[in-house]
Every structure is written in C-alpha cells, then in structure tokens.
C-alpha cells in the first residue's frame, strides 16, 4: 500500500517540453513512473521521451486518462494550468513551481478541496511512493521501498535524511513534500492521518522548520490520533526572529513559530526530535531494530 499515489497512477506532465519539464520527465520515467501524457500549448503532436504531447489537459485526458498531474510551468501561468488539470478530472495536482502568488495558491487549493482533489505543494519537491511512482524532482537513487513514511517541509533536508535512512538499511513507504510557501495544499496533519492508516508505514519521520504553527498542530494531532512512533528533525535552530530562511513560510513572527516552541510541543507528546539529520537513522534503529 502507499498514500496518494502508487504503481497504478497515470501521470500527466504540464510544461513537458521545457528544460525542467523534459529533464524531470526523463528522471521520473527512469524511476518507473507511468507517465502517459504531456501538455504544452502549441506543441501538440510532438513526443518527449516517447510521451505524447497535447495542447491542452482536456485533450490529454480524453485520450490517455491520467489521474495525477505535475506542473513545470512559470508562476504566472501555474494557476491556469492547475485549474485546467482539475477541470479535466485530476485527483492529485503537484505544482513544482516556486513563486506562485498567494492569491493564486489559495484559489487553487480551495478549488481542489471542493472537488475532493489533493494539491501537493506548491513550491514542492513532489511526492514519491518508493519503488512505485515518483512525481517530482527528488533524486531517484535514495528512494527504495521500506517501512518509514516521511513528510517534509524542506526538499534538500528530506533528501539527506532519506539517504541516511537508506544507508542505514531503512527504505521509505511514501515521501511527501508539503512545499515551502505560506499556503500549501497539504499539512502535516493530512499526511500523518494517511500514514497512520497505511499498512506499510511502521515509523513516521517529520522534517519541519521554523515559522508557522504546523508542527505544533501536528503535535496536538499526534497526541490524540497517531499510534505509530514519530521522529522529527527541525531546521532553523539558529535563525534570528523576523528573517525568512529559504522558504516563504519559514519566518518567526510575533514570537510564533520558534524552534524551541516546536521542539517542546513535539517532545511533550512523545516525539523524539533529532538535533542533527544523521541522528534520524540512529533513532529509527532504536524503534525498528
């Protein structure tokens, strides 16, 4: 079992003929992702790595029946592209794009929720169900099947932690990138609920960071609803208040979202918090053996 996507997921790539779209299409195909269509206005009839390209998502869906879409399109056009995918029936939308206006992101996420669809991101590295399907930009070699579910706000930190877990002999069930913007489609609670119900996930790892209250909300949810062990690593311990560190959502404002507050909230409900990324596999070994 996996969460959100699996080996049966049929993927559409929007912006497939661009540099990023074509490069990551090759990477996703190499991983084994079932990419059935691409979309690039004005490029219909072409192929990228054997994947047929269509002018519109509607045309792609009529012929290829995808159920998930990943967007490699400029921020100014991301909302239109994502809404087109939703209108065509996509159930999982993954906007890799950084810099989507807040109003556009809010409109997209609200629209998706009314349709029962999931938005992974925006400004995300994507989602991968290890050994089954990869939708995004994460490096292929680190994602091997195993019992650890990972949900992360940070892409590069999650790569490091997943690589360390793999080196220690622990693969991953699904790895979800929440995205680094202020408004994102999924939060920790959404993914924790899915991992709790997933029979293949035995241990959950949260990769958080300063800013916002997502980790504190996750702690409250864990206390009442999560029976599986949870580990965490939080970035931003030394960040000064008021300074954004990398992500739009990683900023301490009015005393909220501090590193210490997040650690205390998680530890209070039994979550072990690693001080450094390489300690996550050590803590996992204490739990999984």
> Domain map of the chain by residue range?
11-119, 138-288
Of residues 251 and 137, which shows the higher confidence score?
137
In this structure, are residues 238 and 224 in contact, taking their beta carbons and an 8 Å threshold? no
**If we measure between CA atoms, which residue out of 231, 185, 184 comes closest to residue 208?**
231
- Whether residue 250 is predicted with pLDDT greater than 60 in this model: the reply is no
- Whether residue 257 is predicted with pLDDT greater than 80 in this model: the reply is no
Catalytic positions, please? 247
Mean pLDDT of 56-70: 98
**If we measure between CA atoms, which residue out of 192, 193, 226 comes closest to residue 208?**
192
| H helices present in 7-154, as ranges | 19-31, 57-64, 75-87, 102-114
pLDDT-above-70 percentage for the chain: 93
Q: What topology is assigned to 138-288 in CATH?
A: Rossmann fold (3.40.50)
Mean pLDDT of 93-101: 96
Q: Give the CA distances from residue 167 to residues 13, 164, 281, 283, in Å, rounded to whole numbers and listed in that order.
A: 31, 5, 9, 14
What is the overall mean pLDDT for the chain? 94
**If we measure between CA atoms, which residue out of 125, 118, 185 comes closest to residue 160?**
125
Query: Which two three-digit tokens encode residue 144?
Result: 């091997």
- Distance of alpha carbon 120 from alpha carbon 139, whole angstroms: 18
Q: What topology is assigned to 11-119 in CATH?
A: Rossmann fold (3.40.50)
| H helices present in 132-278, as ranges | 155-167, 188-197, 214-225, 259-268
How many contiguous H segments (helices) and E segments (strands) does the chain have?
9, 14
Per-residue pLDDT of 220-233, as tens digits, reads 999 999 999 999 99
- Whether residue 269 is predicted with pLDDT greater than 50 in this model: the reply is yes
**If we measure between CA atoms, which residue out of 271, 157, 287 comes closest to residue 215?**
271
148 Cβ neighbours under 8 A, 6+ residues apart:
165, 170, 171, 172, 173, 201, 202, 203, 204, 205, 284, 288
Which residues on neighbouring strands pair with residue 208, listed in sequence order?
Answer: 234
42 Cβ neighbours under 8 A, 6+ residues apart:
55
- Distance of alpha carbon 11 from alpha carbon 33, whole angstroms: 8
């Amino acid at each position: 079992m996996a969460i959100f996507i699996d080996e049966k997921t049929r993927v559409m790539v929007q912006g497939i003929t661009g540099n990023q779209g074509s490069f990551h299409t090759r990477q996703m195909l190499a991983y084994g992702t079932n990419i059935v269509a691409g979309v690039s206005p004005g490029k219909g009839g072409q192929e990228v790595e054997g994947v047929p390209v269509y002018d519109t998502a509607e045309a792609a869906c009529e012929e290829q029946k995808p159920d998930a879409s990943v967007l490699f399109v400029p921020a100014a056009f991301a909302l239109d592209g994502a809404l087109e995918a939703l209108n065509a029936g996509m159930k999982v939308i993954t906007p890799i794009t950084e810099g989507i206006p807040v109003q556009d992101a809010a409109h997209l996420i609200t629209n998706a929720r009314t349709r029962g669809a999931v938005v992974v991101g925006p400004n995300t590295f994507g989602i991968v169900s290890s050994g089954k399907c990869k939708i995004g930009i994460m490096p292929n070699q680190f994602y091997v099947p195993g019992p650890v579910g990972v949900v992360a706000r940070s892409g590069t930190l999650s790569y490091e932690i997943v690589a360390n877990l793999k080196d220690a002999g622990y693969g991953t069930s699904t790895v979800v990138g929440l995205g680094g913007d202020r408004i994102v489609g999924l939060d920790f609670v959404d993914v924790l609920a899915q991992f709790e119900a997933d029979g293949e996930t035995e241990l959950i790892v949260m990769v958080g960071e300063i800013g916002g209250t997502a980790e504190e909300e996750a702690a409250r949810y864990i206390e009442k609803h999560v029976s599986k062990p949870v580990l965490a690593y939080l970035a931003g311990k030394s960040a000064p208040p008021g300074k954004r560190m990398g992500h739009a959502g990683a900023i301490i404002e009015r005393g909220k979202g501090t590193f210490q507050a997040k650690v205390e909230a998680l530890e209070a409900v039994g979550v072990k918090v690693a001080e450094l990324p390489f300690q996550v596999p050590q803590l996992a070994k204490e739990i999984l053996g």
